[in-house]
Amino acid sequence: MSTTITLKNIEIILAFLTLFSDKEAKLYDIQTEPLTLNPYCYSKEFDSFITSVYQENFVIDFDWTAWENEAHRFVTDPELLTLADISTLQKLFTTHVRKERFCSGHLAGMIENGHFLAIFNRLQAIHAALMLQNAHNNGRPKMIKQTSVFQGDITQLQVDAIVNAAKNSLLGGGGVDGAIHRAAGPELLAECRQLHGCATGEAKITKGYKLPAKWVIHTVGPIWYGGNQGEDEMLARCYRNSLTLAEQYQIKSIAFPAISTGVYGFPLERASRIAIAEVNKFLHSHKSLEQVIFVCFGQSAYDCYLKVVQELAES
């Protein structure tokens, strides 16, 4: 049986994404008849998805029972999927589909806990990366292969540094700023007090403390005033200055949130184009960074970033 995965295979599987992202989708029922041996009844749409998982080479031959403990790690810690490759996703699909044969309702549990959706999110990112690689191989190096898009919690990422969309005071706030301070602990605030604030467009660095990331790069994005107050250039400087700091501290992997797109009101698509362009420009001229992740908290931001990345790949 072939284990090769192509863009077409991935696109066919991704067509089922709405089954797992739509909160109104009903993928299974539980039969209450006392003599029912298999009480879980999956929808026709979900059965079609499982059929496609087989047909598109996502179920493969390997010792899946020996890999079950590894699969459990990905279920209990979805952030591990951030860097999972196609081979890992194949093993996960295989493990879950085959385990269902011996443990009725296993697939239902993977739906309910969001594991299938997390796999789809990673598959989307891999799809975008493959499109970028194809564009590069076709003589259209619009994007560097070290970039990826991820939907999730930036505070949980296992990277060298995460970027904080901070306020000028650097003393915490709402959104990603507050989340980073809460996850890092009070030591982060204490160090930030010693930095005496940060100008818009500039960047400063602290330790990560209780975060998985060793460093936090704090940058202050511009407030959107309609686009005629130099907002684009100030946002671009946030990315340039953060990347420059990363190089100075020999940081190899870094994750950016969608700076200024929250309460500061910067239009999301406009901001994503600036972010991607600045990162791409830096990676073309510097070799220090090995990985840059654009982290999107919500689905709309994730879709927007993927759209911009794919447009660059196809242009």
The mean pLDDT of 210-224, rounded to a whole number, is: 96
pLDDT score, position 140: 46
Q: 24 or 218, which is more confident? A: 218
The mean pLDDT of 258-270, rounded to a whole number, is: 96
The mean pLDDT of 200-223, rounded to a whole number, is: 97
pLDDT score, position 148: 82
| Domain residue limits, the chain | 7-124, 142-314
> Which residue among the candidates 85, 160, 177, 303 is catalytic per the annotation?
177
Spatial distance between the Cα atoms of 78 and 80, rounded to a whole number of angstroms: 5
The mean pLDDT of 17-45, rounded to a whole number, is: 76
The mean pLDDT of 240-249, rounded to a whole number, is: 97
Spatial distance between the Cα atoms of 245 and 214, rounded to a whole number of angstroms: 14
Count Cβ neighbours within 10 Å for each residue of 29-38 and write b for 16 or more, e otherwise.
Answer: eeeeeeeeee
What is the number of residues in the chain?
A: 315
Does the pLDDT at position 68 exceed 70? Answer: yes
The mean pLDDT of 154-161, rounded to a whole number, is: 89
CB-based contact 93:123 (threshold 8 Å): no
Spatial distance between the Cα atoms of 279 and 297, rounded to a whole number of angstroms: 19
DSSP SS3 for 118? helix
The mean pLDDT of 264-274, rounded to a whole number, is: 96
Q: What percent of the chain has pLDDT over 90?
A: 53
Token digits for 274?
């600036």
Is 177 a catalytic site residue? Answer: yes
Does the pLDDT at position 279 exceed 70? Answer: yes
Mean pLDDT of the chain: 88
pLDDT score, position 313: 63
* Closest by CA position to 267, among listed 299, 232, 236: 232
Spatial distance between the Cα atoms of 258 and 239, rounded to a whole number of angstroms: 11
What superfamily in CATH does domain 142-314 come from? Leucine Aminopeptidase, subunit E, domain 1 (3.40.220.10)
pLDDT score, position 36: 58
Q: 156 or 272, which is more confident? A: 272
Among the ranges given (112-126, 222-236, 239-253, 267-281), the one the predictor scored with the smallest mean pLDDT? 112-126
Cβ neighbours of 241 (radius 10 Å): 20
* Band of residue 309 on the pLDDT scale cut at 50, 70, 90: confident
CB-based contact 82:296 (threshold 8 Å): no
Q: 73 or 7, which is more confident? A: 73
Residues paired with residue 163 on neighbouring β-strands, in sequence order: 217
pLDDT score, position 37: 64
